[in-house]
Amino acid sequence: MKHGKVALEVRDGVGVVTLDDPGTLNAWDMKLLEDFTEAVDQLEDRSSGIRCALLTGAGRAFSSGANLKGFGTSAKGSKSGADSVLATHINPLFLRLRELRVPLVTAVNGVAAGIGMSFALAGDLVLMARSAYFLQAFARIGLVPDGGSSYVLPRLIGTRRALELAMLADRLPAETALEWGLVNRVVDDAKLMDEALNVAERLAKGPASLGLIRRMFWDSLENDHAGQLALEAKLQGQAGRTKDAKEGVAAFLEKRDPVFRGE
Average pLDDT over every residue of 6-21? 96
**Does domain 2-204 correspond to CATH entry 3.90.226.10?**
yes
Residue 34's alpha-carbon distances to 73, 128, 159, in angstroms, are 11, 26, 33
Identify any residues that bridge with 108 across adjacent strands, giving them in sequence order: 128
pLDDT of 227 > 70? The answer is: yes
**C-alpha span between 173 and 163 (Å, rounded):** 17
Residue 208: pLDDT band (50, 70, 90) is: very high
pLDDT > 70: percent of the chain? 94
Q: What is residue 75's predicted lDDT score, i.e. its pLDDT?
A: 47
Q: What is the pTM of this model?
A: 0.92
**What region does 178 belong to: left with phi over 0, alpha with psi -120 to 50, or beta?**
alpha
pLDDT of 188 > 60? The answer is: yes
Q: What is residue 89's predicted lDDT score, i.e. its pLDDT?
A: 87
Q: What is residue 77's predicted lDDT score, i.e. its pLDDT?
A: 47
Q: Report yes or no: 56 and 109 within 8 Å, Cβ to Cβ.
A: yes
Mean pLDDT estimate for the chain: 93
Would you kindly state where each structural domain of the chain is located, as residue ranges? 2-204, 209-253
Q: What is residue 80's predicted lDDT score, i.e. its pLDDT?
A: 54
pLDDT > 90: percent of the chain? 89
Identify any residues that bridge with 11 across adjacent strands, giving them in sequence order: 14
Tens digits of residue pLDDT in 41-64: 999 999 999 999 999 999 999 999
pLDDT of 144 > 80? The answer is: yes
**What region does 113 belong to: left with phi over 0, alpha with psi -120 to 50, or beta?**
beta
Average pLDDT over every residue of 208-225? 95
Q: Quickly count: other Cβ atoms within 10 Å of residue 173's Cβ.
A: 16
Tens digits of residue pLDDT in 72-99: 544 444 455 677 888 988 999 999 999 9
pLDDT of 2 > 80? The answer is: no
**C-alpha span between 107 and 121 (Å, rounded):** 10
Q: Is 169 helix (H, G, I), strand (E, B) or coil?
A: coil
Q: Report yes or no: 54 and 197 within 8 Å, Cβ to Cβ.
A: yes
Q: What is residue 55's predicted lDDT score, i.e. its pLDDT?
A: 98
Q: What is residue 72's predicted lDDT score, i.e. its pLDDT?
A: 55
**C-alpha span between 195 and 103 (Å, rounded):** 16
